[in-house]
Each structure stands twice: as C-alpha cells, then as structure tokens.
Amino acid sequence: MVAFAQDRFGSLDVLVNNAGGVQEPYFPDGEPEHWGRAIDLNLRGVMLGIHFGVRAMRGRGGAIVNVSSVGGIGFGPYDTPEYGAAKAGVVRLSASLATLKRRMGIRVNCVCPGWVDTPASRRSRAEMSPEERGKVPPVLLRPEEIAESVVVFVEDDSMAGRVMIWREGSPWRLVPVDAPY
C-alpha cells in the first residue's frame, strides 16, 4: 500500500489506519488463535501501517490518523474485551507518538468514534436481540462524519498525539493531553 502510494503519487503524505472487527467467541471463551486475529487486525495492523508510513514520510513529514473506537475508552466492562483492549492500545500508541512531530515532522493522531452506520454495523445490529439492539444508540454517526474528523487532523499542523472522541448524537471533542485516568 505504501509502495503503491509512493509509485503512483511520488510520496506518502497522509496515512489513515482504519480497520476493525471481532468475531465470536470472544475472549476468554475463544482460543488464542481466534482472539489473536482480533488483536492482529485492530492493533498490530495499525502498528504495521505506522511503521511503514513513518519510513515513507521520514525526511518529508506527514500526517497519520488512526481510527480507534469508543470501545477502547474507559474502564468499565466491555462485551468484546479483545477488541476493546486492541482499540485502547491504538489510543495509547497514537498519544505516545506525539514526539514524532518534533523529531520527524510526522503527526500521529487518533479518532475514536461510537457506532458508525456501515454495512458491518448494520449486520451486527440485525443479529442482535431486541434487548441488545435497545442498548445501541438510535442515532449513528455517518462515515462521512468520520472522514471529516480525519480531515481536521490532517489539516491542523498543531495537533500531534491527540485523541478525538465522537459519540453518537454529540459533537466530537478532543481529550485533554493531561486528562486524568
């Protein structure tokens, strides 16, 4: 992907890591190979994207925006722990890489949306019981809104290591850098 961008466009200036998913049985019921795939997709994939993206942006600068999830925010119980843990890892990883701006001119930031109206979320909601579906917010974010939040990070050269939370039905907000635990 990175090599394609460099060959096709001459450089890589913006990288968006946006992948996610998890399948039953969830941790701890599933076997390590099963829940390990969720960790690989949701955290390791982002790390690999950053690794190769930074190599391509070194000496030029650029912006990397990681899409995590509100499932990675907070300390309460979560039904898919391997997904929540991986997405929390993406949040922490993104914030930890704020120093890349000073060192290399590469800004890494993170968007944490709630439920987004996508084919995958429609399938998930269709498979839910009425009780489970009742816990899903009635207003979902649109993919275009998430794209707009990514653009905020791409266009604002002052932000690095920042985390944006966008819950359904609310405006997005930046988590303060010195936010309490």
Residue 83 annotated among the catalytic residues of the structure? yes
Instruction: Give the β-pairing of 106-113 and 62-67.
Output: parallel
Dist CA 103 CA 115 (whole Å): 35
Dist CA 158 CA 32 (whole Å): 41
Q: Which of 26, 78, 83, 181 is catalytic?
A: 83
Dist CA 105 CA 101 (whole Å): 4
CB–CB of 90/76 below 8 Å? no
Query: What type of residue is 180?
Result: P
What positions carry a catalytic annotation? 83
